[in-house]
Amino acid sequence: MKRDAKNLTNAAALAVFWLAGLTTVVVLGAVIGYVLVNGVGEIGLEFIFTNPHGVNAEGGIWPTIVATLYVTGLAMLIVTPVAVLAAVYLAEYAVQGRLVRTIRFAADTLASVPSIVMGLFGLALFVESMGFGFSVISGALALSFLMLPIVMRTTEEAIRAVPKYIRWGSYGLGASKWQTVSRVVLPAAASRIITGIILSAGRAVGETAVVIFTMGTMINLPVLPTDPGRSMTVHLYQLAMEGINMPAAFGTALLLMAMVLAFNLSARWLLRRNRRMQG
């Protein structure tokens, strides 16, 4: 009798956990499915490669795609050397102490700064004080602060995952610390570092509140880093709230999702391939 009750409780509890686990899949499926069903008819070569025109942004979204990839790529270029070298310091050189604790606290804080705060920061520093105006470079600089802690953390984890004996081998051959780091440790950790960079780029592609206040909202095909532009996320926001051209909103949402998923899946694929090669 008591055993029955115990088993019943157990079964009920397990059912609830199954429900929780599967809910996440269902919700993801619902969001992707909804955007896919409504957006897929809109997407074609014309939608991707032509300019929006007219009062209600008919036609394509090419300038917003370019602006999104441009600002993300530039942010990756800015953040990668700084974040990787910072991680090298934390993983290989730093001794536990107040300085390291401060750096880690700052990185954690930076990682949790609301994106709207980062947007206003970019507006105050890069757009206005440094005079870059609403531009790709302002957006990229603000985004790079957002990406910095992510790339730092994943790189540090990747470096720490490189077995110690590989380093000893290098030192044993007389290599200096930098030689060991640059020619042994970093190459061994490369694919995991790249995974981290791609993941942070996926985050940047999906970011709205930062770029709206740093890159602006003007539909423009940016050529120079000092040109303004409208990202796909900002375009989606404006189309969704204007609500006049909903087909284009769905098309933009679908392309945006596809881009973010491509970043995420390629990062996962890289990681898995790497694991297989090592295992």
- Residue 223 binds other proteins (CB under 8 A): no
Q: At what angle do helices 232-242 and 62-88 cross, to 10 degrees?
A: 130
Q: Which residue, 120 or 221, has its beta carbon nearer to other proteins?
A: 120
- Least Å distance, CB 75 to other proteins, is 13
Q: At what angle do helices 62-88 and 246-278 cross, to 10 degrees?
A: 30
Q: Nearest-CA neighbor of 138 among 70, 201, 189, 190?
A: 70
Selected binder of other proteins within 64, 72, 115, 135 (CB under 8 A): 115
Q: Which residue, 120 or 226, has its beta carbon nearer to other proteins?
A: 120
- Least Å distance, CB 20 to other proteins, is 3
The CA distances from residue 273 to 162, 195, 262, in Å, are 16, 11, 16
Q: Which residue, 49 or 171, has its beta carbon nearer to other proteins?
A: 171
Structure tokens at 232: 């796909």
Residues numbered 228 to 257 that lie near other proteins (CB under 8 A) are 233, 236-238, 240-246, 249, 253, 256-257
Instruction: Name the DSSP class of 185.
Output: I
Q: In the stretch 179-198, what mask flags binding to other proteins with x, by CB under 8 A?
A: xx--xx--xx----------
Q: Nearest-CA neighbor of 183 among 276, 269, 270, 88?
A: 88
Q: Which residue, 57 or 136, has its beta carbon nearer to other proteins?
A: 57
Q: Where are the alpha helices (DSSP H) in the chain?
A: 2-39, 45-49, 62-88, 98-112, 115-122, 136-161, 164-172, 177-180, 186-205, 209-214, 232-242, 246-278
Selected binder of other proteins within 48, 77, 113, 161 (CB under 8 A): 113
Selected binder of other proteins within 118, 189, 193, 197 (CB under 8 A): 118
CA torsion sign for 89, 92, 98, 101 is positive
Selected binder of other proteins within 93, 269, 273, 275 (CB under 8 A): 93
Residues numbered 48 to 87 that lie near other proteins (CB under 8 A) are 53-56, 81-83, 85-86
- Residue 107 binds other proteins (CB under 8 A): yes
Residues numbered 120 to 159 that lie near other proteins (CB under 8 A) are 120-121, 124-125, 129, 145, 148-149, 152
Selected binder of other proteins within 208, 226, 266, 274 (CB under 8 A): 208
**Long-range contacts formed by 10-15: CB under 8 A, 24+ apart:** none
Selected binder of other proteins within 158, 213, 216, 228 (CB under 8 A): 213
Instruction: Name the DSSP class of 182.
Output: I
Q: Nearest-CA neighbor of 72 among 3, 119, 141, 123?
A: 141
- Residue 34 binds other proteins (CB under 8 A): yes
| Count of residues of this chain found to bind other proteins when the rule CB under 8 A is applied | 104
Residues numbered 7 to 26 that lie near other proteins (CB under 8 A) are 7, 9-10, 13-14, 16-25
For residue 115, give every residue at least 6 positions away whose Cβ sits within 8 Å of its Cβ, in sequence order, or none.
146, 207, 208, 209, 210
